[in-house]
Structure 1
Amino acid sequence: MRMSKTVAKAVHVLEVLADGPRGIAELSRELGVHHSTALRMLQPLVDGGLIARGPEGRYRLGLRMVEFGQQVLEEMDLRVIARPHLLALAESARATAHLVQLVDDRVVYLDKIEGSSIRTWSRIGREVSLHTSAAGKAILAAMPAEQAERLLAGHEFRRFTDRTITDPAAFRAHLREVARDGYATDRAEFESLVHCIGTAVPGLPAAVSITLVRTGTDEPDPSALLDEVSATAAAVAADLGSAIG
């Protein structure tokens, strides 16, 4: 079923505001509508608590969105079970740990634990770049080939850095290496200073990864954390199996 135009516009507003507060002029430009039309689009969302207008006149996501998001996250058993393991991994590695999952043909960040003072682009609920992320590659390499091909069929192999793999054939060959090795890396393929390593959670379309950020001239070596990341993924799978059983 196709989304109605009204709902699609409302979703667009929420997506724009998810990247930060906007004034009415900015929103009008991004939505491609006149100021008065934008105001009419925003008012029902304000009335419903989904967005809020600050004293400076800029709109932001409302507290009701936080309530909805928290409810969704609480219902995701994988996130609840994995969190203690992610916390331990982030503390041990002193780096940012991620839990990533395939949800409705989209690979998204399910959880994130900041293990350093350096903030990264990733955010809970945000879609993962399949061809540049360690976690995305790990999930693709672990799933049945037919399913991986379906996800890659319409994928845009966009270049983010000079290390991004943009050739579909080269990327598929890279995935075969990931499947053989049992882990995936992102060596400055999405952000020039960011290096990651990830492994699939056994038996699930999910992965655990750790992110290191280069602060000097030497590149960090995420492969040194492979054993910890693999052990975390295995522990998550074991705990989830125990909970289900």
Structure 2
Amino acid sequence: MADGGRSTLSDLARALTIPLPTVHRLAVTLEAEGYIERQSKGCYLPGRELSRLLPMLGRAEDRVAMRLRRSLRHLARKHHVFMHFGVLEEGMVTYIVKENGGDEELFTQERMQLEAYCSGIGKILLAALPDKELQAYLDTGPFVPLTRRTLTDPAAIRQELENVRRDGMAFDRFEIRDDIFCVAVPVADPLGRVIGGLSASFIREVPSSRRLTLLRKAMQDVVREVVRAEFPVAQAADGTAGAAAIPDDFAS
């Protein structure tokens, strides 16, 4: 499960030198008890019961990343884009998940860090900061222009982040590289705390408004699905599960 549901039971049996039938029986039991759930043939992710215990184990960002991987791979291939999930660490964006949906390659790598002020995910994460923390970040400017379109003036960056809060999405309009256009949306826990950002990147292309609208909806649907799975909520009085909160700053 640590690799986002990519390893099969056969892989696990080989790694642990355990007979495959034994691993299969254990998986059947754990699935029946709700501790794991089938992701694809022979592959599993944490189930509802294990998800209740996971908050005590590791960072929420890493657990969400694990759940996101398969969905991001699907989105990348369906829309022919590069999908990323990243978090803010010491003023930089750390990319945790990258999935390629095309024939070309992009310079980004998992666990790589990039500047926040000029990337789609970075703008999402900066816009979610408390004002005092955001001002402290902006006070480190002016910032380095990576392309002729990069916003470098702190006041201009602040205005851009206000737009991100208003619209619930962020853009990198060829600001980090001359050949990359990016759209990003927030990933928030049920309390509305933004824990990461999800982005789709295009090489040498500005997508149409219709394509952006469809992609944004698909990204937000993935976020809702993953957040509900990762942060199980109490059942409502009528027996239906409550929905994860969407942060007010990013309501669209």
**Does TM, scored on the shorter chain, surpass 0.5?**
yes
* Counterpart in the other structure of 2:115: 129
* Offset from partner CA, 1:205-224 (integer Å, 9 cap, x none): 2010001112xxx6334734
Which residue of structure 2 aligns with residue 153 of structure 1? 139
Amino acid at match of 2:230: L
- Partner of 1:154, secondary structure, is coil
CA distance in 1, matches of 2:126, 2:111: 19
Q: Supply the distance in 1 between the matched residues of 2:224 and 2:67 (Cα, whole angstroms).
A: 12
Q: Which residue of 2 aligns with 1:177?
A: 163
In the TM superposition, residue 129 of structure 1 has moved relative to its aligned partner by 1.5
Give the AA of the match of 1:134. Answer: G
Q: Which structure carries more helix by proportion?
A: 1
The runs of 5 or more residues in structure 1 that have no matched partner are: 1-71
Change (3 A) 1:87 1:155: farther
Q: Note the aligned Cα RMSD (angstroms).
A: 2.6
* Mapping 1:38-117, distance limit 5 Å: 76-117=62-103
> What is the identity percentage for the equivalent residue pairs of Structure 1 and Structure 2?
27
Q: Corresponding residue for 2:174?
A: 188
State the distance in 2 between where 1:130 and 1:104 align.
Answer: 10
Give the conservation status (yes or no) of the 8 Å contact 2:86–2:95.
Answer: yes
Aligned letter for 2:206? Answer: E
TM-score (norm 2): 0.60
1:118 aligns with 2:104: yes
- The C-alpha deviation readout for 1:61-109, integer Å capped at 9, x for no partner, is xxxxxxxxxxx99x93122122122122212211110000123554200
The aligned residue for residue 195 of structure 2 is 205
1:226 aligns with 2:222: no
SS at match of 1:159: coil
Deviates more, 1:147-156 or 1:130-139: 147-156
Instruction: Say which SS state the counterpart of residue 192 (structure 1) adopts.
Output: coil
Measured after TM superposition, the shift of residue 156 of structure 1 is 5.6
Distance in structure 2 (CA, Å) of the matches to 1:205 and 1:197: 17
Residues 143 and 111 of structure 1: is their aligned pair in 2 closer, same or farther, counting only changes over 3 Å? Answer: same
- d(CA) in 1 for partners of 2:81, 2:168: 21
- Please report how far the alpha carbon of residue 193 of structure 1 lies from its aligned counterpart in structure 2 after TM superposition: 1.3
How many residues matched? Answer: 170
Q: Distance in 2 between matches of 1:150 and 1:238?
A: 33
In 1, Cα distance between equivalents of 2:119 and 2:84: 11
Deviation of 1:152 (Å): 3.4
Q: What does residue 241 of structure 1 align with?
A: 231
Paired residue for 2:31? none
Q: Distance in 2 between matches of 1:239 and 1:146?
A: 32
Matched residue SS, 1:209: strand
Q: Give the conservation status (yes or no) of the 8 Å contact 2:76–2:82.
A: yes
What are the ranges of 5 or more consecutive residues in structure 2 without an aligned counterpart?
Answer: 1-57, 236-252
Does the C-alpha gap of structure 1 residues 83 and 190 become closer, same or farther in structure 2, counting only changes over 3 Å?
A: same
Q: Which whole-Å deviations, capped at 9, do the CAs of 1:133-183 have from their partners, x for residues lacking one?
A: 111101111232222233333356111111111111111011001100000
Aligned AA (2:223)? A
C-alpha spacing 1:127/1:237, structure 2 compared with 1 (3 Å):
same
Task: Answer 1 or 2: higher relative contact order, Cα 8 Å, separation at least 6.
Answer: 2
Q: 1:84 is matched by which residue type in structure 2?
A: R
